Amino acid sequence: MKISNQHIAMMANQGQKTDKALRQACADFESLITNQMLTAMRNSLPQEEDSLFAKSYGEEMFQSMLDEELSKEMATGRGTGLGEMLYKELAKDRPKSEG
């Protein structure tokens, strides 16, 4: 079987796609963990049912959506570093032909 430059380019392109997918999966995982952390932090605050500012169902829903978006933003760029550490750990176990 003859391997042409086109085959090498396709393999390199596939490796880049795999690398990009792995980076995205690690960022998504970091976002998920950050979201769980934010939710746990909010749940640790005292919840007073009879207070003047008791949370409605709509406010709880909005807070949940806000936490999700905040966690996505926190995971982009440098983030907390969890996604990058996970990527480095998983990338070193991949075969060299992938990236």
SS (H, E, C) 30-90: HHHHHHHHHHHHHHCCCCCCCCCCCCCHHHHHHHHHHHHHHHHHHHCCCCCCHHHHHHHHH
**Residue 72 maps to a domain:** yes
pTM over 0.85: no
58-95 pLDDT per residue, tens: 888 888 899 999 998 888 877 788 989 999 998 887 76
Q: Higher pLDDT residue, 96 or 71?
A: 71
**What gap in Å lies between CA 25 and CA 38, rounded to an integer?**
20
H or E, element range at 11 = helix 5-43
User: Per the domain annotation, does 3 fall within a domain?
Assistant: no
In this structure, is residue 95 part of a structural domain?
A: yes
Total structural domains within the chain: 1
79 falls within a domain: yes
Amino acid at 53: F
93 belongs to a structural domain: yes
Residue 36 has pLDDT above 90, yes or no: yes
For residue 46, being part of any structural domain is answered with no
To 10 degrees, the CA torsion angle through 57, 63, 68, 73?
160
**What are the structure tokens assigned to 92, written together?**
């070193």
Q: Among 8-12, 46-50, 60-64, 68-72, name the one with the lowest average pLDDT.
A: 8-12
Could you tell me which residue, 28 or 99, shows the higher pLDDT? 28
The domain containing residue 59 runs over which residues?
27-39+54-99
Quick check: 83 and 27 in contact, CB under 8 A? yes
